[in-house]
Each structure stands twice: as structure tokens, then as C-alpha cells.
Copies of this chain bind each other. A is one copy, B any other.
Amino acid sequence: ELVTALEQLHTPALPALQGKTLLITAGPTREAIDPVRFLSNHSSGKMGFALAEAAAKAGAKVQLVTGPVNLPTPVGVERIDVQSAQQMHSAVMQRASAADIFIGCAAVADYRVAEVAEQKMKKTSSNDELTLTLVKNPDIIADVAALSYQRPFTVGFAAETENLASYAKDKLQRKKLDLICANDVSSKEQGFHSEHNAITAYWQGGELALERQPKTALATAILQLIAQRIQQQQPLP
């Protein structure tokens, strides 16, 4: 009886994740313009860190590739710090094939500056206007989803300010994701720097709305949904 009680105490909330390897991205990326200036995106990293923490508590091996954020590393999580989208792409592609599940939660900059200045650009009275030429960054989640060998179950996030459902479903199809979590960031009540978030998850032939709740609780709900979707894709033998 004592043994059973102890086992129950140690039973994780997400038994399906025990022993699985999760690769998660979080936070913004920073794209250098010169040594003092950069382009970036709003992202506190809280959602990605909450997912990493919940997965580690469930007994998963978790690698967290993160841009610059002010958050402590969750217990039991391996953290890899990066700055730019190119660095994040490289850190992810090195590890993606060893992962069972990839969750792209980072707010990756779509574009970087075409030519980074080595020294601080000087403002002069003559240049009242400045033109910055940007080029596309690699698409991390699409590259993971396109792996033909040892492809992890691939989950994306879509942060949008309008047309949430149609943009998210389009991204799911176009990038060949297994699941996408759509996030309305036009409200100050959720998303970005808030402790709360509400998302709607979409997959091929289904969707689930997860109402506004603390990001920690939402992380567990998302991981439960991922575990369910994996079981549906791979029926028991």
C-alpha cells in the first residue's frame, strides 16, 4: 500500500511525456543593425518557459532555445541562449532530429538587416531619412516540419492582431505543422508580457479553444493536447 501511495505521489500529470525529448524555442530574437541598434519583436518568453517547465515536471528531457529574456531557467531544463534568428535556426536544426516533439514558441524576426554595420552608424545633419534594407530570415519551424528523416511532432504558434483563425489555419497547412496555437495579441489582457493567455489550437480536421488562464496552466493544457494528438496519429499496435 505504501509503495502504491508513493507511486501515485510521483505520477506526473502528463504520463505520455515521461522520457520524451522536447525541443522548445522561446522569447524574441534580436537582429543587429550595428553594435548598438537592433530590430526585435515583443515577447517576454513566459509561454515558452512555462511549456518547458511543465514538460520537465512531466519527466520529459527538455531543451529550451531562447532569445534574450529576463527569466530564470526552469529546474531540469537545458537552456541554450541565442540572439538572432540565424543563431536560433542553427541551434534548433542541430537538435531537431533527436527530439520527439518540437514546439516553436519564439517570436522569431521574419527579417534581418541585409548589411550589419561593424561600427555604430553616425547620425549626420544630412541624413534626415535613412533606408534600411531587410532580407528574409530562415523559417525555423517550416524547416523542422520539412525534415524527411526523424521528424519530430511539430507545433507552431501564431501571434496575430487580426484574422486569427484564417492566418493560423493557413500557416498550419503551408508549413506542414501537426498543430498550431493561435494567439490574439491585439488585446492587452493576454499574450506578450501578460501572465495570462488564451489560445485556439488547430490541427488537420480539428480545433480546441483554451480559455484565458495563467500561462502555467495553459502550458499543461497544451502539452495534454499534444500528447493526445500524438496518440491519435500513432494508434496503439
Query: A-side interface residues toward B, CB under 8 Å?
Result: 33, 35-42, 70, 107, 109-111, 114, 119-120, 122-123, 127-136, 159-162, 167, 185-186
The answer to whether A39 touches B36 (Cβ under 8 A) is no
Determine the residue in chain B with the shortest Cβ distance to A111: B130
Contacting pair A123 B110 (CB below 8 A): yes
Q: How many copies does the complex hold?
A: 2
* A107 and B36 within 8 A (CB): yes
Which of A33, A120, A127, A131 has the largest number of chain B CB atoms within 10 A?
A: A120
Enumerate chain B residues within 8 angstroms of A111, measured Cβ to Cβ. Answer: 123, 130
Contact of A161 among B70, B119, B128, B161 (CB under 8 A): B119
Closest to A118 in B: B161
Which chain B residue shows the least CB distance to A33?
B39
Contact, CB under 8 Å: A133 / B123? no
Task: Return A181 CB to nearest CB of chain B, in Å.
Answer: 16
A35-B185, A37-B41, A38-B40 in contact; A136/B123 too (CB < 8 A)?
yes
Chain B residues near A129 (CB-CB < 8 A): 114, 133-136
- Give the distance to chain B from A77, nearest Cβ to Cβ, in Å: 21
The minimal Cβ–Cβ distance linking A141 to chain B, given in whole angstroms, is: 13
Nearest CB on B from A27, distance (A): 13
Question: How far, in angstroms, from A42 to B36 measured CA to CA in the complex?
Answer: 5
A120 CB to nearest chain B CB (Å): 5
* B159 adjacent to A36 (CB under 8 Å): yes
- Residues in B neighbouring A40, C-beta threshold 8 A: 37-40
User: From A134, which residue of chain B is reached at the shortest CB distance?
Assistant: B130
Question: What distance in Å separates the Cβ of A180 from its nearest Cβ neighbour in chain B?
Answer: 16
Give the top 3 A-B pairs by smallest Cβ distance, nearest first.
A132-B132, A130-B134, A110-B123
Chain B residue numbers with a CB within 8 Å of A122 are 167
Shortest Cβ distance from residue A119 to the other chain B in the assembled complex, whole angstroms: 5
Q: Given the complex, which residues of B lie within 8 Å of A39, measured CB to CB? A: 33, 37-40
